Structure 1
Amino acid sequence: RYAERNVLLKGGSDPDRPMPANVLYVIGFPLGREPKLFATPTSVDIRL
């Protein structure tokens, strides 16, 4: 299964100007046991 989400990334240096991005989630499950829905977090802390 996969899912896509359009997000706005806020950087530490300029949080007032978020950068648009598209996130792709790819998740593997045993054949025939895939869920109909899955949840993803709406907020994460990414450090480069």
Structure 2
Amino acid sequence: MGKSKKSIDELKKDLREIKKDEMKNIMGGREKKNKWKRWLNICGNILPQ
């Protein structure tokens, strides 16, 4: 359980980093958005709604 919690915290930290990147690269095209969507899909599967 503790291990799982830690990895969720790490995912949240990653999410913050991705958001920062996304704000910087908002004009940066489609590839970034696809990564973002993929991350959200993964996160949606891991985290309880």
Q: Same fold (TM over 0.5)?
A: no
Q: Which has the higher contact order (CA 8 A, sep 6+)?
A: 2
Q: Look at both structures and tell me which one has the larger radius of gyration over its CA atoms.
A: 1
Normalised by the size of structure 1, how large is the TM-score? Answer: 0.24
Normalised by the size of structure 2, how large is the TM-score? Answer: 0.24
User: Which is helix-richer, 1 or 2?
Assistant: 2
